[in-house]
Structure 1
Amino acid sequence: MKKSLIILSIISIGTMSLVGIFPTLTTAQTVASKYDYKEAFSPFFYSNNGNEYRSASGMPGPKYWQNAVDYKISARLNDQTNEITATVIMEYTNNSPDLLDFIWLQLDQNMFSKEGRGRKIVPLTRSRYGNALSDFDGGYDIKSVKIGSGAAAEHLITDTRMQVFLPEPLKPNGGKTSITIDYSYIVPTHGADRTGVLETQNGKIFAIAQWFPRVAVYDDILGWNVQPYTGPGEFYLEFGDYDVEITAPANHIVVMGGELLNPNEVYTPEQVKRLDHAKKSDKTVMIRSAEEVIQPESRPKGKELTWRFRLENAHDVAWASSPAFIIDGAKINLESGKTALALSAYPVESNGGNAWERSTEYTKASVEFYSQLLMEYPYPVAINVAADIGGMEYPAIVFCSYKSKAAGLWGVTDHEFGHIWFPMIVGSNERLHAWMDEGFNTFMNDLSTESFNNGEYYRPMGDANRLAQALTRPDLEPVMSAPQNMQERNIGMLAYLKPGFGLRLLRDEILGPERFDRAFKAYLYRWAYKHPTPDDFFRTIENVAGENLSWFWRGWFKYNWRLDQAIRNVTYQDNDPANGVLITIDNLEKLPMPVVVDITTKGGEIHRVKLPVEIWERNTSWTFRYPTTEQVIAVQLDPDKVYPDHNPDNNRWEAPAQ
């Protein structure tokens, strides 16, 4: 024990008065602080000012623009060779102020060729994104590329990108052109856990995604976004309308994220009746049962059938096809009075035991919850497909593991349909900013799970102090790293859990639900069907909530800063409990946070004190007075364990035994 002097100052109307100087016997805090308030609260967080394209308040600017592309695709599936042969016509509109000499396309399937960059960087150890030892050699076979009415186009393919050179520059502010490509490819069995082929006892399930050449985004941030597809980074695409024809074997059922235009041609008359019933039913309706899967009469006769779909105002489209599908569905109710159709497609292996027979129930509940919380679901269908894919989202359709059941199936279904809002409606750049869709969605999933079926699968997060050990490990990259720039083992933490926890912390502890919810929803409405950046999100939250959060964005997202608040000492003013207690706390690590303190007095009462984060704006240590009139027996920082304090051992002080 050593003798300390504590000086407590109060500033009022320009006058500083000394309240008390007194001796006390206390345990001294000898740990050196890493905290630098000049760095944490530096006012220059944003590197760019607002402009005519993106407002300083986080809104799209008065001259915000984005390009658009509509697709017409005609494809055929050969289920014997796993080959897709197709023609895609892209109608491209240049809304930018720039003259364009060429157009970049994404060729994601080329990742699965032996020469693909993504293939070459897959480690020999287990990876979600591929098998370095596989003999599969995939990729697109581009048969022809034409511009406009039929002229062959000069083009250059580099890995997962194709540069198409235009015969004449495309005019700005609404100039249009079309590109037609004939191509084919072999569907990879394991396509980076996003597309693939699953063998079941009743036939193959084809989960088809990243299956056609797609126009890359040209924006006011980077110009052409030409980040190659290597697996970890997902997608960044332009919005448009899709007209799709899929020709498949007649014994297959095809489901696609979009409105089925010809149900009478591809379903049996009885299945059409059941489909219509499902569109009006709040309970799950069986459209094709497990028993019917092996009955030839459960499919129309013939060799092939062509399925026709339309999807509007989306930035991608995906589908699935199989002879093994059980199909069921139910109505999704929306606040406007509109409805959508929840559908599930799964094999008999996934049926029963609290598994996929509840998929439509989960899909309906998830979509209805987010429609009420955020914005109304925009698509005519919401389809959940059982596949050999852990979980992957596309507009109006998701792929989830055929092995999932109970809480696992609810969790992956709810997560993937949450992605309809981020990034399917709010089209952020997933190639660079995975946290802007995965983290936002992880945050939302917690709210949805708490609501579903009276919390059937809800498990509270628990002790954030313990979680902090993982959230802020010193070897973690920053959240704002590109997913390609993270260790694969860290992606789950940095893209999902850490940003999701950060938003929950911001909502529950820093801003409060009312302010946060209003700001978060404003961000969604401002950037629906547009392309926001991280700054647009940060600026929107600050402007709508009315709070400077640069310290939070900087520490939690831009850097991997840790939190360690500590009690240095506890004493009485003038050494008399009747005059109040003075408590000194330190900020020992680089991350500041608000402070919550519980003070327990000898009589057993607990008094809670909350201090704003601004106490750390120019201090590394802070002393405050609480007007007790009796002895204090304990002081506890973060009593509810809601802050990510990685060293809770110094969060408690107890009076010495007498």
Structure 2
Amino acid sequence: MRDLFVGVSLFCLAVGAAGAALADEAYAPLKTFAPFTMPSPPSPQRSASGAPGAAYWQNRADYRIDARLDPASKTLSAEETITYVNHSPDTLDMLWLQLDQNVYRKDSRAAAEAGRPRKAFTEGYVIEAVEIEGVGPAPHLVDDTRMRVTLAKPLKSGGQVKLKIRYHYTVPGLFGGRTAWGTSGGGEIYDIAQWYPRMAVYDDVRGWDTLPYLANEFYLEYGDIDYAVTVPADMIVAGSGALTNPKDVLTAQQQARLAEAASSDKTVMIRTPEEVAATPAASGTKTWRFHMSDTRDVAFTASRGFVWDAARINLPNGKTALAQSVYPPESVGEGAWSRSTEYMKHAVEQFSKRWFPYPYPNAINVAGPATGMEYPGIVFDGIDDKGKTLFWISAHEIGHTWFPMVVGFDERRDAWMDEGFNTFIDVYESDDFQNGVYGPKRDGEYAPGKGTPAEQIAELLKDLDAPPILSRADTIREKYRHPITYFKSAFGLTLLREDILGPERFDPAFRRFIADWAFKHPKPSDFFRAMESAGGEDLGWFWRGWYANNWTLDLAVTDVAYVDGDPAKGAKVTVENHGQLVLPATLRVTLASGGKAELRVPVEAWMQSGSRVFTLDTHERVTEAVVDPDHRLPDRDRTNDSLKPAS
């Protein structure tokens, strides 16, 4: 979601006494290197290697939805049929569903949550009927953003049930945030998401996972979704998945242009600003039909005022998809949304090459009122976004296809996995696009003038109130949500790739994790085990220091001497570790001749002691010794990183 661009001035937190207290703590090797207990143990469902186990299972939910959007009353009404298959070994006597629209009710739990106060409300879902096919009305209980349906006949392992629900709700205005309607130069825009009752996940870890919807996002079952949206006849609808009835809703010219775009690496206009202005109001309605396979959700947008363009996405193994953008006339411009499809195309192609092939037929970027939010195959961004901001937000939101749309993380509990992982892959997309014209994202672009990401993170780690990454997502205060959930999580993966494992070990392990858990539900322990097993490294010290705690790093050069007192025999440099966190580092010395020598300081140097003497094969006097000379690490005190010995 859009919070990627919240200013990282949040990182530069008041540390004062907290920093002093940290400096007084003595490094304890047995604390850092104690055996690390994963949050959950391996099981027949989840192997010790981090892959799904031989007995892994997950339930399935397929949807058929027929919806009608009424702009006059700002109401969406629908009927849905959910085909729910129980692959678990358990017999289920109830079903739980998620009712996200109820977050907008005045009496919702979210309304009482202090982090994001709401100023306007709706009635949420009005549930008109709940039935079990072949049985009739089903007893049901609505509790905040959840609904329990009692089954007349228990659902045995391997069985399925068809649940039918009829409902309506008022579409929230701009206060909706992730789903909303708003005005534009071409007409009203409706960004419709979280718009139908969705099955809660029943898994091997907790059974029914029924966390209420407060602010953090989704944990959903996978399946196929067929949905139809009836709107006024002059509206354009863009939605998740493939449009299955183009002849019914598009002009012959629009169909021909889409066919051209499907074979074009350059952006093709499907509907121009001039055509938007010339389109007369139409009476009656049209029904747009979509299908999406292997998805956990769908969303759509609708407006009479959309400019529309598209281009081909080239995927591995010769496959293709279609990048599309819909936006109002005021967003047109080469410095603005006229480049959106180019950004989407590049991001999807690069993410597909680097990590895992994009699985959906379309990647759609929408300029509308619900800014900075992601759904499978479609993302909502800002009407006024331009330049590097539009590039960053477009790449970030479509990057969520990989986390959590393909790799189905539980965002309600572990938001650091989807937001942090996605922020991490964004870094390389900024490097890749046009030789880094919008990058790099590792050098202070997060908060110009506030230092490098490592220096910003060092400030965050000094704050004794900063929560660990492994905290439940809803407990992380707004002050820390972006610094911890996005940035610290992403920076941890950067450290793991570039400083701990190296790309040669990290990349294959990370790709394997994605492929193993594609369209499945991994937990934090599965990720930790996968990176250790395929990455070839015991990383318990890293999981403990970076994820389970908010420990600090403080390396210091405290002495420079020579072997037998003779510079010609080599230099002896004493390095001390004053923080509880450990990370691999570089030790570099500058010689009197101007030459340099360096060695790698592995974490094993600190397994038994906080002080080590390193001997470098030098043959002349040392003028300076520096640990972490390139400032790659979040060292809390840079003043002790170097030492210039007396002549």
In the superposition, the TM-score normalised over structure 1's length comes to: 0.91
Tell me what 1:296 maps to.
279
Aligned-partner SS, 2:54: coil
C-alpha contact (below 8 Å) 1:246/1:306 kept by paired residues: yes
Q: Distance in 2 between matches of 1:473 and 1:105?
A: 41
Aligned residues of 1:138 and 1:188 also touching (Cα < 8 A): no
Equivalent residue for 1:379, pick from 351, 360, 367: 360
Aligned with 2:129 (options 130, 144, 150): 144
Contact 2:40 2:525 in 1 (8 A): no
Task: Please report how far the alpha carbon of residue 302 of structure 1 lies from its aligned counterpart in structure 2 after TM superposition.
Answer: 4.1
Matching residue within 221, 226, 251 for 2:234: 251
Query: 2:196 is aligned with what amino acid?
Result: F
Structure 1 stretches (4+) deviating beyond 4 angstroms? none
Name which structure has the greater RCO, CA cutoff 8 Å, separation 6+. Answer: 2
1:71-150 to 2 correspondences below 5 Å: 71-122=63-114, 127=116, 130-131=117-118, 133-134=119-120, 136-150=121-135
The question of whether the paired residues in 2 share the 8 Å contact of 1:33 and 1:620 is answered with: no
Q: Is 2:152 aligned against 1:162?
A: no
**Residue in 2 aligned with 1:536?**
526
Report the CA distance shift for 1:415/1:465 in structure 2 as closer, same or farther (over 3 A): closer
Please list the CA deviations of residues 550-598 of structure 1 after superposition, one character each: whole Å capped at 9, or x if unmatched. 1111111111111111112222233332332221111111101112111
Q: Could you tell me how far apart the structure 2 residues matched to 1:225 and 1:423 are?
A: 17
Q: Contact 2:551 / 2:580 at 8 angstroms: preserved in 1?
A: yes
Q: Measured at CA, do residues 464 and 564 of structure 1 come closer, stay the same or move farther in structure 2, by a change above 3 Å? A: farther
- Checking the alignment, whether the CA contact within 8 Å between 1:33 and 1:587 is kept in structure 2 is no
Distance 1:635 1:59 in 2: 44
CA distance in 2, matches of 1:502, 1:47: 18
Distance 1:600 1:372, change over 3 A: same
2:523 maps to a residue whose letter is T
2-structure distance, mates of 1:156, 1:49 = 34
Cα deviation for residue 374 of structure 1 reads 1.3
Counterpart of 1:482 (choices 472, 480, 483) is: 472
After superposition, residues 214-613 of structure 1 pair within 5 angstroms as 214-231=198-215, 233-296=216-279, 302-462=283-443, 463-474=452-463, 475-613=465-603
For 2:461, give the aligned amino acid.
T
Q: Using a 3 Å threshold, how does the CA distance of structure 1 residues 82 and 652 change in structure 2: closer, same or farther? A: same
Partner of 2:13: none
Conservation of the 8 A alpha-carbon contact between 2:348 and 2:399: yes
Question: 1:4 maps to what in 2?
Answer: none
User: Which of the pair is proportionally richer in strand?
Assistant: 1
1:52-67 alignment runs, 5 A limit:
52-67=44-59
**Which secondary structure state, in structure 2, belongs to the residue aligned with residue 50 of structure 1?**
coil
Give the partner amino acid of 1:446: V
Letter in 2 for 1:294: A
Alpha-carbon shift at residue 465 of structure 1 (Å): 4.5
- Which residue identity lines up with residue 329 of structure 1 in the other structure? A
Structure 1 residue 122: Cα displacement: 4.3
Partner SS for 1:294: helix
**Please, which moves more after superposition, 105-114 or 600-609?**
600-609
* Post-superposition offset of 1:90: 0.4
Q: Secondary structure at the match of 1:80?
A: coil
Structure 1 residue 350, shift from structure 2 partner: 1.1
| C-alpha spacing 1:192/1:511, structure 2 compared with 1 (3 Å) | farther
1:186 correspondence with 2:170 = yes
Output the aligned Cα RMSD.
1.5
Rounded Cα–Cα distance in structure 2 between residues aligned with 1:520 and 1:467: 26
Consecutive unaligned residues in structure 2, runs of 5 or more: 1-22, 444-451
Question: Alpha-carbon deviation of 1:200?
Answer: 1.0
Q: Distance in 2 between matches of 1:629 and 1:203?
A: 75
Q: CA deviation at 1:34?
A: 2.7
CA contact (8 A) 1:596 1:611 kept: yes
For residues 226 and 622 of structure 1, what CA distance do their matches in structure 2 show?
50
For this pair of structures, how many residues does the alignment match? Answer: 616
Q: Is contact 2:39–2:524 with CA below 8 Å preserved after alignment?
A: no
Deviation for aligned residue 1:150:
5.0
Shift of 1:468: 2.8
Q: 1:498 to 1:47 in 2, by over 3 A?
A: closer
Give the equivalent residue in structure 2 for 1:10.
Answer: none
Instruction: Output the CA distance in 2 between the equivalents of 1:94 and 1:358.
Output: 45
Match of 1:35 in 2: 27
- Output the TM-score relative to the length of structure 2: 0.93
Identity of aligned residues (%): 44
User: In structure 2, what residue type is equivalent to 1:106?
Assistant: Q
Q: Aligned to 1:200, what secondary structure does the other structure show?
A: coil
Kept in 1, the 8 Å contact 2:597–2:616? The answer is no
Question: Judging changes above 3 Å, is the alpha-carbon distance between structure 1 residues 624 and 459 closer, same or farther for their aligned structure 2 residues?
Answer: same
Q: Name the amino acid aligned to 1:472.
A: L
Does residue 69 of structure 1 match 2:61?
A: yes
Q: Displacement of 1:273 after TM fit? A: 1.2
Q: Does 1:209 align with 2:193?
A: yes
Distance 2:409 2:40 in 1: 19
Aligned partners of 2:39 and 2:525 also within 8 Å: no
